[in-house]
Each structure stands twice: as C-alpha cells, then as structure tokens.
Amino acid sequence: MPLPIEQLDITAFRSLRNLKLGKLGRVNLLVGVNDSGKTSVLEAIALMSRPLDSSWWLRVSHQREPSSVPLRRLSRTDRIRWLFPPSNSPELDRADMVIRAEGRISTTAMTARFKRVARMRPLLGTASERETSGARLHIEARIADEVRARTFTLWQGGPVVYPSRTARELHCEVVLAYHHWMPTLPIRGYSQARLEGTSQDLTTLLALLDPEIQGLEILQPEEEPVLYVTHAAHGPVPLSVYGDGIRRTLLLAEAVAKAKGGLLLIDEIETGIHFSALGGVYSWLVRACRELDVQLFVTTHSLEAIDALLAADTTPDEDVVAFKLGQQGGQSVVKRYGEDQLKWMRFERGLEVR
Amino acid sequence: MRYVYFVVEGPHDVEFVARFLTLHGLERVKHKPDLALFWVPVLPTSWPSPLGSTDLLKRVQVPAFFQNQDVSVAIDSATSDSQLLRSAIGMRNTVNQPGGDELQALGVVLDSDQTTSAQERFTRIAKGLADANLPLAAAPGQVVQGPPRIGIFVLPDNVSPGTLEDVLIDCAEKQYPQLLVSAREHVESVKAEIPPYTQDDLKDFQKPAGRRKAIVGSIGSVLRPGKAIQVSLQDNRWVEGEALELPRVKRFREFIDSLLAPPPA
C-alpha cells in the first residue's frame, strides 16, 4: 500500500521554491541550516491535508507564534500572508502558492491565492469605526480526483468557523517544540488511550525515561482535572511537576495514536528528551508509526536524534530517509539520503548529514 | 577544480597511488583550511560506531587528500569487495551536492590473488558500481567516460594473479637492486619446516603473497627502519626514474592519468 505521501512538489510556499521531495519514506528527516525551510515543509504538508478548512489555515499560520512569545504578534492577515512567497511590497500584494502531492493523500494539488482586503469595523462601546484588514483566500484543490474551490476571508478579530472533517481527509497531527507545555493535551491523550485500551503502552513508554513510573491516572483534587503519574517511590505526582522528557514523550504517544492512518509532523523532534532516552523512545515511535500506518515527518538539528531514528529501524525496508534542504540562487535545493547511505555515513564513517 | 576519488585496498596502496599523483604536482593536504570545500562532507565529525558494535579499536577513517590548482584527490582505504563498493558509492553520494560540483572520476584499485582472478574481482566491482547507477566499467585497467569517469585496476597488471608487492619488486630491481638481492636471500633462507617456529609464527609468511611481502618489507626496513612500508613508499625512490618505464608501472600510470585528465572538450 502506498504511503500517504510518496512525492511532494512545492512550487511556491513561504520561501520554498520548486522544492521536490521524491521517494519519501515511512520516516522522513528534514535537516538543513536555519531558515532552510524545514518547518515550512511541515506547514505545507499540513495545509495539503485539509486545504479547504479555514480554521486549519489559521492554525497553521499562527503556530510559529505561541501566545507566550514575548514578541509583538503579527496580525491574522499578516500571518496568512507570510504563508505565501514574499514580495517586495507585502502591504499591497497578491500572492500565490502551489503544492502537489502523490500518494494516498486525497489532495493531490492545491493552488491558493491571497489578497489583502479591508473593511470598516465598529469600535466596541463607541460610535466610531476603524479600518481592519482581512486575508481573502481563493483555494482550488484536487481532492479525490475532483477539483473543488473555496473562497473565504479571514478577518482580523472575526469569528472562525470550524467545519466538520470529511471522511476522505487524512489525519494530520502537528507537534511543535513548545506543545508539551500546553496543559490540556496530555489529559486528552491519556483519556483517548484509556478508552482505546492502550494506556498500558503509555506506561511502558514512560518507564523508558523513569523505570519507577507505574501508570497514569486523572484525579480532580480541586476544580480542574489533573493528570497524575503514579510513581513507585512518591505515589501520585502531578504530570506538571515532571520535566520536559515525560511531557514530551506523552505528547508524542498521544500524537501518533491520533494520526492513525495519516500524517504525523514533528518539529524539532529532539526537544525535551535526554539523548540517553532517545533510542528507546524513538524505537517505540517508529514501531508505532509502522503498526498504525502513520507517515512521520520530523525536523531536527540533532545528530543524536538522527542516529536514534536510524537505529530504531531494524527492518530491511528503506523506512528512514533524510532530506537536506538549502537555498541556491533563489531556488530551493534538496539532497536525499537513503537509509543505507545514512547508516553508512553515521555508523561506519561518522559523517555529518545535517 | 576537478575532483577525483580513489578507493584502494589498504594503506600501502594509498601511498602507491599517491606517488603517481605527485608526478602531476599534487601535494598532500595536511590541514583542513587547505582542503577544497568539496571534501568537507567526508570529514568525520563523530566517532563512528556501527550498530551493535562494542569495538573499542574502531578508528576514525579520514581519506588522504592531495591537490594542485586543477585537481583535488581523496584516497580511501577499504578491505573486501563489499567495503570497496560501499566506500565508492557512499562517498560519491556524500560529496555530490545539488547545484554544486560533482565528482569527476572514481577509481578502484585492488589486488588479485590465487583463488580469485583479476577478471572475477573486476567483474564483481564493476557490477556493484553499475547496480548503483554508475557507468559500467569495460575491462580491468580501462577508464570509461562518465560522468563520473570510472576505472578499476586490478594489481599487479589486470591479468596476472598477484598484489602490489609484485609491482614493487619490479621497481626494486631498477631502484634498489642490491637490496633486492639481499632481501631475497634473507627471505629464501627461512625454512618453515625447521623448528623452532610455531605454526602461528609463519602464518602470514606462508600465504601466497607472504614471501613477496616479506621481501618488500625487508627492503623497506632498511630504507626506513622501524617504519611501515607505506612510509618508505612515501619517502623513498620506489616509483621514480627507470621504474616509471616498467610495463606494469606505465600501465598503472596511464590509468591514473586517465582519471585525472580534464574532461573532453
């Protein structure tokens, strides 16, 4: 059975130009220097999974700016605008993006056009109005061999409509570097695992990081439910007391289960987990991806993460491949490394692949 | 700049190839800042540890580099056909960058022995390279145009069974005839059947190429006492003067020259 995405062509998306990722694998490592476009590839894949969903566009456009970031946040319109290729006059422009994919994914082509629009909006509690901007998007997508189009405007401060998902859409889960600090995610993940009877798998996974972890449970000592870790020596300990490793691992476990049959996109996969635990966690992750038919795309700057993911695949199939991204003369360039080549470079010769 | 990669069968062969590079004015690159950027991806950045290996004797492998203003060459050492192939294919995939310079030529230098003929070894390597979408080499010692240009030389002369030492003994006849005579006498005086040798003492000596390797080693020990033969190859006159006119040496020199030559206009 083909993978969700066997080939991805990104003609124009953010700063990516004419990027072709061919012969994709079950596990795809995206490497390259800063600003080479690794995270942009994840975003392009995410949009391809639900191209006509306005709320998904908003989520993808703002996930680089978590609310706690101490910088002034871009407007909704600008965040959408910067998903498109930059131009010399970003305030006035129109812009287009084009992405194509081959594989099991239902969306095989997407073109999107951005146009900045404006309207007057009443100021609350006053009789005056102020101009507010919006991002008008016209999207055409070939979904299951049928061309579908949608035009909508995402206004600054306007309501967001969350459409129900269609059965044809692939699941696509996105895990960013800061997501393990979002308090509700692990509770949802544990609840889902408990309902599906896979909570023991989570315990086994967490025990890779701390062998004294015996399980998880949701308790409600005050107003809000809290996820507790049952520890052999300390009894129930709130998950929030634990460091990044446990939280991150739990988040990965939740994400791979939710991505069943679809796509899991992880930015900076090495985040939060000590290198000594990477081997165990990634072995579990790669096995889970295979068992749940999940295609994994990860970005990383870490050689330890690359080594651990390579070591995690012990099958003769070429499951793990890497793409080194770069820019040259205004175009994206990419070098693909197959699994044999990666293992030779890392395990036989100690060569750099990032 | 043209880039050429050799993978050869052992450190002696590395220095043997290097001697022919110096004939083109190429010099050994000893420091990283002097090395062409093209080769930086093949410099190790961590201690390689094969999966499941507990080997503490594993050493970090760095090619030997030689360059002049036109050509930059890396020479790697590997053992066994599979390792020669992995190095040749892996190195080419490592250095070629999209939109960047590409490897101009790839040379493989290996021995033949009594059990595997030159043609057999050539065929194995040629097929392995072709399976990796590299040009199919035509015959031992012949260079086919690429890209990349490919050549496979089976020592000593692409036909006879033997090793590098056969060529070096030819060279010693021209360059160090007296030493060769005395080294031969010394080696011939060893009678394996006479105790007090143990079986292990003469294990390598009694291999097909053992006596010839011992003769070359004896000469090297006089020229560079206490040093390995590759040091003598590097420092002494093995491949100079009249030795360059020997048929086997000329054939090898033509092989190297073909790989280093500029691409046809």
CB contact under 8 A, A335 and B98: yes
Q: What is each CA distance from A7 to A30, A104, B98, B202, B239, in whole angstroms? A: 14, 10, 18, 59, 53
Q: Which of the residues B91, B94, B95 would you substitute to probe the A interface, choosing the one with the greatest number of A C-beta atoms within 10 Å?
A: B94
* Cα-Cα-Cα-Cα dihedral sign, residues B184, B189, B193, B196: negative
Region A19-34 average pLDDT = 95
Report yes or no: B46 and A307 within 8 Å, Cβ to Cβ: no
Distance from CA of A308 to the nearest CA of B (A): 10
Q: What is each CA distance from B193 to B184, B190, B201, B212, B214, in whole angstroms? A: 18, 9, 12, 19, 17
* B45, B49, B99: residue with CB nearest A351: B45
Stretches where chain B sits below pLDDT 70 are: 114, 192, 195
* B47, B51, B90: residue with CB nearest A345: B90
Distance from CA of A40 to the nearest CA of B (A): 20
Distance from CA of A144 to the nearest CA of B (A): 33
CB contact under 8 A, A349 and B42: yes
Q: What is the pLDDT of residue A164?
A: 56
Indicate the pairing of strand A7-13 with strand A94-102. antiparallel
Query: At CB < 8 Å, which residues of chain B contact A?
Result: 41-51, 60-61, 86, 90, 93-94, 97-99
User: What count of CB pairs under 8 Å joins A to B?
Assistant: 52
CB contact under 8 A, A351 and B42: yes
Per-residue pLDDT band for A12 (boundaries 50, 70, 90) equals: very high
Distance from CA of B265 to the nearest CA of A (A): 27
CB contact under 8 A, B44 and A351: yes
- Chain A residues close to B99, C-beta within 8 Å: 328-329, 331, 333
Q: What is the pLDDT of residue A165?
A: 59
Q: What is the pLDDT of residue A252?
A: 87
Cβ–Cβ contact A336 with B under 8 A: no
Q: Is the pLDDT of residue A76 over 60?
A: yes
Q: How many angstroms separate the CA atoms of A66 and A92, rounded?
A: 27
Q: Is the pLDDT of residue A161 over 70?
A: no
Q: Which residue of A lies nearest to B48 if distances are taken between CA atoms? A: A350
Cβ–Cβ contact A207 with B under 8 A: no
Q: Tell me whether 0.95 is exceeded by the ipTM.
A: no
Q: What is the pLDDT of residue A185?
A: 66
Distance from CA of A168 to the nearest CA of B (A): 36
pLDDT in tens, A173-222: 998 877 776 666 678 778 888 888 878 878 888 887 788 989 888 998 88
DSSP for B20-34, please give it.
HHHTTT-EE--SGGG
pLDDT in tens, B78-133: 988 999 999 999 999 999 888 789 999 999 999 987 678 899 999 999 999 999 99
Q: Please report the residues numbered 256 through 315 in chain A whose beta carbons come closer than 8 angstroms to any beta carbon of chain B.
A: 303, 311
* A311, A331, A345: residue with CB nearest B94: A345
Report yes or no: B151 and B141 within 8 Å, Cβ to Cβ: yes
Beta bridge pairs of residue B154 = B110
DSSP 8-class letter at B162? B
pLDDT in tens, A217-276: 899 888 888 889 899 999 999 888 887 888 888 888 888 888 889 999 999 999 888 888
Cβ–Cβ contact A329 with B under 8 A: yes
Cβ–Cβ contact A327 with B under 8 A: no
Q: Which residue of A lies nearest to B93 if distances are taken between CA atoms? A: A341
Q: Is the pLDDT of residue A70 over 60?
A: no
pLDDT in tens, A263-311: 999 999 998 888 888 888 899 899 889 988 999 999 999 999 999 999 9
* B47, B97, B98: residue with CB nearest A350: B47
Q: Is the pLDDT of residue A90 over 60?
A: no
DSSP 8-class letter at A74? P
Region A130-157 average pLDDT = 90
Cβ–Cβ contact A334 with B under 8 A: yes
Q: Is the pLDDT of residue A69 over 60?
A: no
pTM: 0.88
